[in-house]
Each structure stands twice: as C-alpha cells, then as structure tokens.
Amino acid sequence: MIFTSFEFVFFFGVVLMVRSCLRSFSAEKWFLLAASYVFYMSWSIPCGLLILFTSSLDYFVGSVLGRTEDPRKRKQLLALSLIGNLGVLVFFKYANFFLVNVQWGLNLFGSQAPQWHYDILLPVGISFFTFQSMSYTIDVYRRQIPTCNSWRDFLLFVAFFPQLVAGPIVRAADLLPQLRQRVRASLLDIEAGLAQFALGAVKKIVISDQVAPHVDLIFANPGNYDGLTLFFGVLGYAVQIYCDFSGYSDMAVGAARMMGFKFMENFQMPYSAVNITEFWRRWHISLSSWFRDYLYIPLGGNRKGDGRTYFNLLVTMLLCGLWHGASWNFVVWGGLHGVCLAVHRGWKSLDPFKSLNQHAVFRFGFSWLSRLVTLSIVLVGWVLFRCPTWSAATDYLIRMVTWSPEGVRLISPFILMAVAAVTVVHFTINKDSNWAHNIPSASVPVRIAAYSTLFVLLGLLAAVDAAPFIYFQF
C-alpha cells in the first residue's frame, strides 16, 4: 500500500472517518496504532512482529533507564538497546554483504570459500524505524527527554503510518508530546496538509515516475549510449530521486498535518545549495540531523581540532553511505561527500578570497561557480548511488566525463522537461519558502488557481503505473 495508490486513499479516508467518531482518546490511539500496523503489514505480516519487537525492547529499556541512577547500569541498558536495534538492522540488511566480503577475503588468500548467501527478506523501512526507535533510548539516557509511560503511545510513536516506511525520521521529543493530548486538525491544517500531499503526489507520479523508465533504460546499458546521453541520464536520476523522496516526505507530512500532527520538513530546495555543507542541510534533513546529533557530535564534532573534525566528518558520511545500502558503492558515495564536506570546511577556515568578498561582482560570480561545483559533486555521487556495482559506476563516469562519442544518442523529452521544471523551481523560487504553507495564506483566486493546477497535472500527466518509492529499499 503506497501513498499514490487508490488503496491508500481509501485506507486514509476510513482512518479519518473512524477517528472522528471515536469519543475516547485512549480508543483513538489504539485505533491509530492498529491502523499503523495494518498499513505496515500490508507488505509483510512477519515484519510487523519485527517492529513490535524493536519497539518493545526500547520501551522497556527507556522505562528502566528512567528509574536507574547507577551510571554503569545506565550504560549497560543503552548498550542493550543499541545492540538490539543495530543487531536486527545488521542481520536483515548487511548479513549477505558481510558474507560476500568474507568470501572475497578468503579467496584472496587462496582459500576456496563456498558461496554463502541467504534469502533474507528486507523489511520495508527498517533503517528508518530502527533509527527512530533507537534515538528515544539515547535521548532518555542523556536525560534530554522524560521516559514514555505508555507502551501503546510508544508503539504508536515508532509505527505511526505516515512516516513509517521512508521518513522523515521523527524524534520522540517531537511526536510523543503530541500523543499526550488529543489533537484535531484545524481548517488551515487540513488545507495545508492537502496542498502538501497533492504537491508531493505531483513530484512523485507526474515527474519521478514519468522520468524513471527513461533513466532506467540509460543506466541498464550505459555502454550503448554516448556521453551526452549519459549526462542527461544522471540529470534525470537526480530529478527522479529528488522528486521521488521529497514527494514521499511531502505526502507523509501532509497526511499527518491533515490529522493535526506536525512533522519536520525533510527537504528544502537542496539543488540550490551554494556548497556541499548547505546541500546536506537541505537534503534528507531528518537523517543528516540524526547523524549529526547521534554520531558526529558524540565523536567530538568540531571541538578537537581540524584534523579530528575532518576525521569525524568522513566517518559520519561513510556510515551514512552504508546506512543507505549493503554495497561498497554506497560507502564510496558517502566517502565522497565526507571528503568534500571536510574540504569545504578547510576552505572556509582558510578563506583565501576574503579580500575579494567585498565586491558584489565577485560574490555573484563565485556563488554561481560554487553552485556548479556543488552540483557536479552531487551528480557524480548519484552515479555511484544508482549503478549496481563499482565497475559499472566507473565505466559510466569515464564515458560521461570523456564525453564519449560512441554509442546511441537518446535525448528523452521527459528528462528534459523534468530537469527544466526542477531547475526553474530551485533557482527562481525562494529556497527557504514552503508552497504548502504559502498557498493557504494566499488570496482566494490564487488558491483556486494553485489547487486547480495541481489536480489538472495529476489528472492529465500522472504516470499510469506508479513505481515503488526508491527509499523503501533503505
């Protein structure tokens, strides 16, 4: 059941209707919990048992932490939570990756290792709900939030269906307080939520799903196409993954808003970033802030000198890459961003053009050059992210960078129009604005025009076959 399906529209309508009829707040939360598990188990019933296990473990650990003052016992309880959550994540997501690398290492030293591989079902959204649940015990351990005294509320916090399978990663400090008192959506909430949901649907099924077949065709056999086609292929993928993932986030935030719940925004015009640091402040904000607060800062952040700061950035981004998938491509992708973040930080500390910054012409030209460099780094990273193997990624990059004339030239009008649309939005609209928030406050004619445009786009240009969201695999 995905957000763009008629099944979800029916499911969400039933949830809204039944919830409005329940007079008991306790019954309402039990109903939302049951609905969330039905939503998740529409993919796999056993996976519902898994999320129940990890949630119950962290609820138990958090409850005991709230009654424990002994520092040694508190560390042991935190370790239990981390081992439980990361152990589940490693088993389901990285077991075969680990075995393949062990086999490769043994073969390298002359041992004839058997081929180890197990058919392990990867639960949808496992990386999201384990990180969300685990952050609660870390915050309780740090005494940053009080313990949750309701098992039902905690289960609902982890499994709440709008953000369950692909984020945003909602912190306990943000959602649990909203479950302590009954919330109801105002007319503004309903309108803003519906606007954001519709905007996300346009991103997903009008742009991403229309571009996807053409991008897939190019990446399936890059050796068949010339350098220009490969360049447009990676541009198309950059648009596809942005509209796919930010579209899901918009629909998740919008669905929650229509029920009266507030989630953080997960994307804010990332391709308009002037540097790679700003890019990560605008791309997948809930994940980048999670790694900042629970890994980068505990490693020392920028408090222990430049060398340690660069090391911390690299380690954080390598693990961020591994979080995305069990492949060395993702690790290299994370390493690329980690190195670039470190280089940018070093550049800022040196500031070699400080004396020229007072000139408006220089500032204008340098900002656009910085945007071009940042976008180039991001595009190279997307090739690593999208290609199935390291060799495929290197071949793709070599043919693209050398502008190989060999091969078929395929210029997709879908890719051209999608790239043009995203470019216009990123570089002509205030990158800190939010259309879903702005539209409800506009005049009536503007609102009618905006909503009519969104629904006309959905009615006329939506892809016939809605593809699964890309980040479901993570």
User: What does the angle CA 4 – CA 473 – CA 78 come to, to the nearest 5 degrees?
Assistant: 115
Nearest alpha carbon to residue 279 among 163, 373, 155 = 373
Please determine, for residue 110, whether its predicted confidence score (pLDDT) is greater than 80. Answer: no
Q: Same domain for 410 and 448? A: yes
pLDDT in the model for residue 113: 67
What is the token pair recorded at 299? 């490693």
Nearest alpha carbon to residue 383 among 336, 319, 322 = 336
Q: Same domain for 267 and 403? A: yes
Cis, peptide link before residue 177, omega less than 30° from 0: no
Q: Same domain for 160 and 77? A: yes
Indicate the pLDDT class of residue 474, thresholds 50, 70 and 90. Answer: low
Instruction: Say if residues 64 and 79 touch (Cβ distance below 8 Å).
Output: no
- Residue pLDDT, tens place only, 142-193: 999 999 999 999 999 999 999 888 879 999 999 999 999 888 889 999 999 9
Q: Same domain for 426 and 337? A: yes
Number of domains composing the chain: 2
Q: Same domain for 165 and 214? A: no
Buried b (16+ CB within 10 A) or exposed e, 116-128: eeeeeebbbbbbb
Is residue 3 in some structural domain?
no
Q: Which of 139, 163, 182 is the last residue of a domain?
A: 182
pTM for the whole structure: 0.92
Phi, psi of 434 (to 5 degrees): -135, 110
- What domain range is 406 assigned to? 189-473
- 136, burial (CB in 10 Å: exposed 0-12, middle 13-18, buried 19+): buried
Residue 337 annotated as catalytic: no
CA 356 – CA 52 distance, rounded (Å): 58
What is the token pair recorded at 140? 């309780």
Q: Same domain for 267 and 396? A: yes
Is residue 33 in some structural domain?
no
Instruction: Say if residues 204 and 4 touch (Cβ distance below 8 Å).
Output: yes
- Residue pLDDT, tens place only, 433-460: 777 788 888 888 988 998 898 889 888 8
Q: Same domain for 168 and 194? A: no
Give every CB contact of residue 151 below 8 A, 6+ residues apart in sequence: 56, 59
Give every CB contact of residue 467 below 8 A, 6+ residues apart in sequence: 208, 209, 212
Catalytic entry in 214, 324, 337, 344: 324
Buried b (16+ CB within 10 A) or exposed e, 450-461: beeebeebeeee
Q: Same domain for 313 and 366? A: yes
Is residue 39 in some structural domain?
no
CA 256 – CA 190 distance, rounded (Å): 10
CA 129 – CA 169 distance, rounded (Å): 8
CA 259 – CA 75 distance, rounded (Å): 38
Is residue 128 in some structural domain?
yes
Q: Which of 182, 214, 230 is the last residue of a domain?
A: 182
Q: Same domain for 163 and 250? A: no
- 167, burial (CB in 10 Å: exposed 0-12, middle 13-18, buried 19+): buried
Give the torsion sign (CA, 426, 427, 432, 437). Answer: negative
Is residue 293 in some structural domain?
yes
What is the token pair recorded at 203? 């991103």
Is residue 35 in some structural domain?
no
Is residue 421 in some structural domain?
yes
Is residue 107 in some structural domain?
yes
Q: Same domain for 172 and 288? A: no
Q: Which of 131, 155, 182 is the last residue of a domain?
A: 182
- Residue pLDDT, tens place only, 232-289: 999 999 999 999 999 999 999 999 999 999 999 999 999 999 999 999 999 999 999 9
